[in-house]
Structure 1
Amino acid sequence: MSSCSVRNTTMKTILLTLLSASTALAAVTLNTTSYMKLPSCESGSEDMFLDSAVKAVFDPASRLLYVTGSTCLHVVSIENPSRLVLVYTKFFNKANDGKIVDIALCGNKLALLLESTFQYTEGHFYDCTRFNFNTDPPVDCTDAITVGESPKSMAFTPDCSKLVVANEGRAGTLNGRRTDPDGSITVVTMNSDPSYSRKLSFTHFNNNYLSYIEKGVRNPFSDDVTTTFSQDIEPEAVAISDDGQWAYITLPENNAMAIINLVTEAWDDIYPLGTKAWGGSRLFDGSDIDGGPFLNSYDVRGMYQPTGAVFVTTGISSYVVTANTGAPKVYTTAEQGVDFTDAISAANAMANNLIDQTEISGSLALDLSSDYRLGRLLISNRDGRSETINTLIKTVHLFGGRDIGFFNTATKTFSFTTNDDLEKKAQERYPAVFNGDCSNASVSPAAEMDSRSIKLGPEPNVVVAGTFNRVPLIAAATRNGLIYLYSMAFDSPFYESVYRYGDPNESWDQNQDGLISDMGYINENVLAGGRPHLFVVSKGTGSISLKEIRSE
């Protein structure tokens, strides 16, 4: 066979492979198969905003879903995907048990992460047994392992040998005095007896904090009170590499990603995430009174500020996929012992002469002053300031990327984001709930349409990953119940669909997914019918739901 024939045959094979993958992933969508509201841990009520359902993990061996409420653990059978059954509830009320903030499952290891009753002191996690109806109690959580102050989230390594806990170290008042612990990470070796833990504090970076600020890592609270760099770092989510060697931790307020070497249990570094240029063909809605959806082009920048994160490998590259939510920092005297915010409305910034109008266009100046354009939008009062003597804002920065980011683990930067997809696709498919909130049980989602445009827009906050037809699939959820699907057949994200459950014209206390706080992927051939599913946990509506993943 000639080299030309070989080349042609190879090209045909590649094209057929691409066509097959494209066809297999055409219009990957969701369909809700079951829905359940869970009772409040405290009152037993199914009313909204009681933290009846916050986080969850799925056990494929038993087809049980473990769902955390504020102070209890619900065990739900999903043996039948069309019928959810609550089989057991365990309450956590020991002397130092605060709110449950996360749950993780790996093999036979079930971990529940709790704050302390004082919130701002060291928390702990319980090493629990999986549910067994024939034991007393059916779920036994006897061993409490101490972690850092204000724990936020955790994740196991794939081999279950280590548990990585992000300790937010939130500022607050304790016994009438202001406290602000350092942010930290606790790495727990689970296979030792007893479990061994190592605390990695962000104080490691204090001596060189100026170099990190110069690189673009934010330190928004530093100007107002005496506080260290590490106290202003509040880690949020943990993603673990497939080989278990690296932990990636999102730092939303700092607009950065921290990385830990889990082999040596030592810091790698903190990496700034940069900013996003809006304008041109990149559009967003910046007003809640413009009769939206109304997307427009503005010459401003956005800080990514990711919260949720998940590790994804395409076979070509590895990514930490992030929900670029946004994170303004707001302190009050009552809660944190000091009044502070790094946010201001654009119109107020203009009225108080905080923006250098010689550095922006005349059209942008008009937009920033108009409530129907950007005037009511929250912008940063810390970022984009001139280094000259006037220190005025010369570049306007929004909070959050309003997108999903794909942080390349090789380059330590975003290789891709979904740009303005979230708002454009919501405008196309679900305009009635565009950039909406979930804040009032008695009103409908449609009644709250556009209300978040001046804050964080679509506000993605949860991302999970699985595979569909052997291709990586990303699901990302937003505040008002929208779930976006992206496939990664060719090492870059491809939009598949957006889905929402519930009638937008019925009140939130009807069957809706409101304030989605967690999701998880269930592989094919695990549940009856053989199809893969997503489980969805909604903190606002106190509900869980199952959604079948399918192609159309």
Structure 2
Amino acid sequence: MNLKHSLLTLALLSVLAGCSLDGEDGNQGPAGTPGQDGAPGQDGNAGKDLPRDLNIEVVGRFNTGIYGKSAAEIVQFHAASKAAFAINAADNQIEVISLASLPTAAVGSPVTDNSLSSTAFTFPDSVSVKNTTGTAVSLPLGEANSIAIYNDLLAIAVAGKEKTATGAVLFYSLDGTGQGSFIKAVAAGALPDMLTFTPDGSKVLVANEGEPDTNYNLDPEGSISVISLTEGIPADLADDINLSTDMIFSSDLLSAADYDTDAKRRSLLKASGVKLAAPTGTTVAQDLEPEYIAVAADSKTAYVSLQEANAIGILNLDEMTIEVKALGLKDWGRFGIDFSNEDEVASFRTLPNVYGMFQPDSIATYSWNGATFILSANEGDARDWDAYSEDIRVKDIVDPDEFNLTLSTTLQALYDETGGKDGLGRLKVTSALLDPDNDGVVEKLHAYGARSFSIWDQNINQVFDSGDDFGRIGAAVLGNNFNSAHTESKGDNRSDDKGGEPEAIDVGEIAGRVYAFIGQERSGDLFVYDVTNPFQAAFVAHYNNRNFNVDFELDDDLDNPCDENEGMDCSQVPEAGDLGPESIKFISAEHSPNGNALLLIGNEVSGSVTVYQITEK
């Protein structure tokens, strides 16, 4: 046994000793024979340049045959019935337009096409709503202003019989044909002008514009109504976000005591650049008029355009507060602008010390890198009533019988150089910002709108503006028809006002890219931009569905816009195409009746709804 143990011990020691000593590497062996080449792989798909080009084609069109009376204003889409919904204010009903048989081929005559038909969706002229005590009260109604659809739930914003009175939201459950069963009505604020569902369907948000009557005998407050939904059933009462005590200022440099009165809020807003134009003695809530609401993807934050005030309000839907952010000014010393309609040609130049107020109408939201961005159609608008109007021309400033003020040396030289009263003198500007230091000298001019669209981050910092693209592209394509009115074929007609007036905007995804679609109310242009990356937005396409060779004239301020006794002639309007695009609704290919992405555009002056198909080239 001892001998065996000794031998085993010696063996282990030998192994361990060998492990601790490295031997020398051997010589490199000869290279092996190369293996056979693998089979060729398939070619990858060809890459696409950015921005990608798009086909824009009219694949259907509906015409009410009613001109100048907002017979096709706000448009929405109901997927279950494959129908477009459009407000017909002239008949105070909703047109339900079937898209079930929509083709994928373009129509033969897009300007005059009338291939789509509708059925009428009507609603009562009075409803019963609950008041704060739970009592049912009857509410007489006026015109429908806006519609929104979430799955099979339809919401209609209807003004009171008098626009300064309480309005209402009417809720309906839609069936597979687009007809509705009434659920209930909920009281809103004065002049509910626009409404939308939150993306999760838990709330309806209503922009109550609260316009005054033209004599300022009544001036209701603007507000936001928030109507909660439980399993598709609206609450009896709306919650309100007011524009007084619900207003906050998020800066840590301010405390609540710094804005706890109307006078303090007004001072802070004006100092930040918010324009408040009204007769003496009005409140901030009376002066601010909510126009259009867009909601972030998380349904917790929304944004409301305060058009006349040149601001956007940030709505916190958990805290029920609003923070008003001024949008700043566009420097027309850096961009080309056509500012006179007297020469009747497209002519651009820069104007130092002349600024544009962005004043968006429609807005939309989308997400990039998890953050919310807001798109704005920068139309511009004045407060213009019989008892108060801020709307003037530059020539009025120096007119001894009007304002009798002096232009600064720089502005006077510009005024003279451009043609005086027929040049810069034609441009419409606000009187509310003429002479802030009251020294009798006007050093800056503030025009309405920015003739563009913009992208803003969630704190309302601008990250993109289309500059003077709309004017230059429109002039290049349409020639002297650019900046035409929508009530007659007369080019350069709107250059002294707000240009083509970007009015409608929506956003949607096509083949992995995100696009903004902007419609100009006056000239009828449709512009498309790739906004996939908001910091690298790029122009993609332009389309205009008008025939400018048709001679017509109507006046949408008349009770009868086509009144021949007033010199109007609408006989050729059916040949003129789409006039006055007011709203745009994007339909993704996933939900589209014909399998391709679509745009619905409501044209209020021509009373037509046009369906565009958008595909990659």
Query: Would the TM-score normalized by the shorter structure come out above 0.5?
Result: yes
1:481 alignment partner, one of 519, 524, 529: 524
Partners of 1:314 and 1:488 within 8 A in 2: no
1:248 alignment partner, one of 303, 306, 309: 303
Distance 1:199 1:21, change over 3 A: farther
Could you report, residue by residue, the CA deviation over 1:351-410 in whole angstroms, capped at 9, with x for unpaired residues? 3465543452553131466244211111122225242x515321111111111011111x
Q: How does 1:44-193 map to 2 (within 5 A)?
A: 46-70=65-89, 71-82=92-103, 83-94=115-126, 96-133=140-177, 138-172=179-213, 178-191=217-230
Q: For 1:315 and 1:22, locate their aligned partners in 2 and report how far apart those are by CA, in whole Å.
A: 22
Counterpart code for 1:67? A
How far apart are 1:87 and its partner, in Å?
Answer: 3.5
How far apart are 1:47 and its partner, in Å?
Answer: 2.9
2:471 alignment partner, one of 401, 423, 429: 423
Q: How does 1:307-346 map to 2 (within 5 A)?
A: 307-315=361-369, 317-332=371-386, 338=387, 340-346=388-394
Q: For 1:414 and 1:381, locate their aligned partners in 2 and report how far apart those are by CA, in whole Å.
A: 26
Distance 1:432 1:30, change over 3 A: farther
Q: For 1:253 and 1:490, locate their aligned partners in 2 and report how far apart those are by CA, in whole Å.
A: 29
Distance 1:147 1:140, change over 3 A: same
Could you report, residue by residue, the CA deviation over 1:520-551 in whole angstroms, capped at 9, with x for unpaired residues? 11111444542111011111011111111123
Distance 1:527 1:227, change over 3 A: closer
What secondary structure, in the 3-state scheme, does the structure 2 residue paired with 1:509 have? helix
1:470 to 2:517 alignment? no
What secondary structure, in the 3-state scheme, does the structure 2 residue paired with 1:283 have? coil
Q: For 2:78 and 2:415, locate their aligned partners in 1 and report how far apart those are by CA, in whole Å.
A: 54
1:228 alignment partner, one of 280, 283, 286: 283
Partners of 2:405 and 2:440 within 8 A in 1: no
Equivalent residue number for residue 500 of structure 1: 544
Q: For 1:358 and 1:65, locate their aligned partners in 2 and report how far apart those are by CA, in whole Å.
A: 53
Across the aligned residues of Structure 1 and Structure 2, the Cα RMSD in angstroms comes to: 2.3
Partners of 1:438 and 1:508 within 8 A in 2: no
Q: For 2:582 and 2:57, locate their aligned partners in 1 and report how far apart those are by CA, in whole Å.
A: 19
Rg (Cα) greater in structure? 2
What secondary structure, in the 3-state scheme, does the structure 1 residue paired with 2:507 have? strand
Q: For 1:357 and 1:437, locate their aligned partners in 2 and report how far apart those are by CA, in whole Å.
A: 30
1:288 to 2:336 alignment? no
Using structure 1 for the length normalisation, give the TM-score: 0.86
Partners of 1:35 and 1:543 within 8 A in 2: yes
Q: For 1:523 and 1:257, locate their aligned partners in 2 and report how far apart those are by CA, in whole Å.
A: 27
What secondary structure, in the 3-state scheme, does the structure 2 residue paired with 1:169 have? coil
1:542 alignment partner, one of 579, 582, 607: 607
Equivalent residue number for residue 6 of structure 1: none
How far apart are 1:468 and its partner, in Å?
Answer: 1.4
Q: For 2:88 and 2:240, locate their aligned partners in 1 and report how far apart those are by CA, in whole Å.
A: 27
Partners of 1:79 and 1:527 within 8 A in 2: no
1:461 to 2:511 alignment? no
How far apart are 1:454 and its partner, in Å?
Answer: 0.7
Could you report, residue by residue, the CA deviation over 1:466-492 in whole angstroms, capped at 9, with x for unpaired residues? 011211110000112111000123333
Partners of 2:73 and 2:88 within 8 A in 1: yes
Q: For 2:234 and 2:498, locate their aligned partners in 1 and report how far apart those are by CA, in whole Å.
A: 45
Q: For 2:461 and 2:435, locate their aligned partners in 1 and report how far apart those are by CA, in whole Å.
A: 23
Report the more deviating stretch, 307-316 or 108-117.
307-316
Q: For 1:154 and 1:359, locate their aligned partners in 2 and report how far apart those are by CA, in whole Å.
A: 47
Partners of 2:187 and 2:237 within 8 A in 1: no
Distance 1:435 1:260, change over 3 A: same
Counterpart code for 2:226? V
Could you report, residue by residue, the CA deviation over 1:14-66 in whole angstroms, capped at 9, with x for unpaired residues? xx99x94635x42224111111112xxxxxxx231132211121012321111
Equivalent residue number for residue 390 of structure 1: 439
Using structure 2 for the length normalisation, give the TM-score: 0.78
Could you report, residue by residue, the CA deviation over 1:192-234 in whole angstroms, capped at 9, with x for unpaired residues? 663442111112252421011111111111xx33211211111
Q: For 1:365 and 1:395, locate their aligned partners in 2 and report how far apart those are by CA, in whole Å.
A: 12
Could you report, residue by residue, the CA deviation over 1:488-513 in whole angstroms, capped at 9, with x for unpaired residues? 23333210111011322124332511
Counterpart code for 1:85? S
Equivalent residue number for residue 5 of structure 1: none
Q: For 1:405 and 1:546, locate their aligned partners in 2 and report how far apart those are by CA, in whole Å.
A: 25
How far apart are 1:108 and its partner, in Å?
Answer: 2.3
Equivalent residue number for residue 258 of structure 1: 313
Could you report, residue by residue, the CA deviation over 1:161-214 in whole angstroms, capped at 9, with x for unpaired residues? 0111011111016xx981001111111111166344211111225242101111
Q: For 2:61 and 2:372, locate their aligned partners in 1 and report how far apart those are by CA, in whole Å.
A: 34
Equivalent residue number for residue 378 of structure 1: 428
Q: For 1:253 and 1:111, locate their aligned partners in 2 and report how far apart those are by CA, in whole Å.
A: 26
Gaps of 5+ in 1: 1-15, 39-45, 333-337
Partners of 2:227 and 2:234 within 8 A in 1: no
Partners of 1:186 and 1:197 within 8 A in 2: yes
Q: For 1:412 and 1:522, locate their aligned partners in 2 and report how far apart those are by CA, in whole Å.
A: 27
Q: For 1:316 and 1:242, locate their aligned partners in 2 and report how far apart those are by CA, in whole Å.
A: 9
How far apart are 1:99 and its partner, in Å?
Answer: 0.2
What secondary structure, in the 3-state scheme, does the structure 2 residue paired with 1:524 have? coil
Of all paired residues, the percent bearing the same amino acid is 20
Q: For 2:604 and 2:216, locate their aligned partners in 1 and report how far apart those are by CA, in whole Å.
A: 31
Q: For 1:328 and 1:87, locate their aligned partners in 2 and report how far apart those are by CA, in whole Å.
A: 37
Distance 1:369 1:347, change over 3 A: farther
Q: For 2:268 and 2:119, locate their aligned partners in 1 and report how far apart those are by CA, in whole Å.
A: 54
Equivalent residue number for residue 328 of structure 2: 274
Q: How does 1:299-310 map to 2 (within 5 A)?
A: 299=352, 300-310=354-364
Report the more deviating stretch, 476-485 or 90-99.
90-99
Q: For 2:384 and 2:350, locate their aligned partners in 1 and report how far apart those are by CA, in whole Å.
A: 28
Distance 1:382 1:50, change over 3 A: closer
Counterpart code for 2:448? F
How far apart are 1:292 and its partner, in Å?
Answer: 1.3
Counterpart code for 1:162? K
How far apart are 1:129 and its partner, in Å?
Answer: 1.4
Q: For 2:460 and 2:67, locate their aligned partners in 1 and report how far apart those are by CA, in whole Å.
A: 40
How far apart are 1:97 and its partner, in Å?
Answer: 1.9
Q: For 2:481 and 2:163, locate their aligned partners in 1 and report how far apart those are by CA, in whole Å.
A: 34
Could you report, residue by residue, the CA deviation over 1:131-188 in whole angstroms, capped at 9, with x for unpaired residues? 4559xxx322341100001111111110110111011111016xx9810011111111
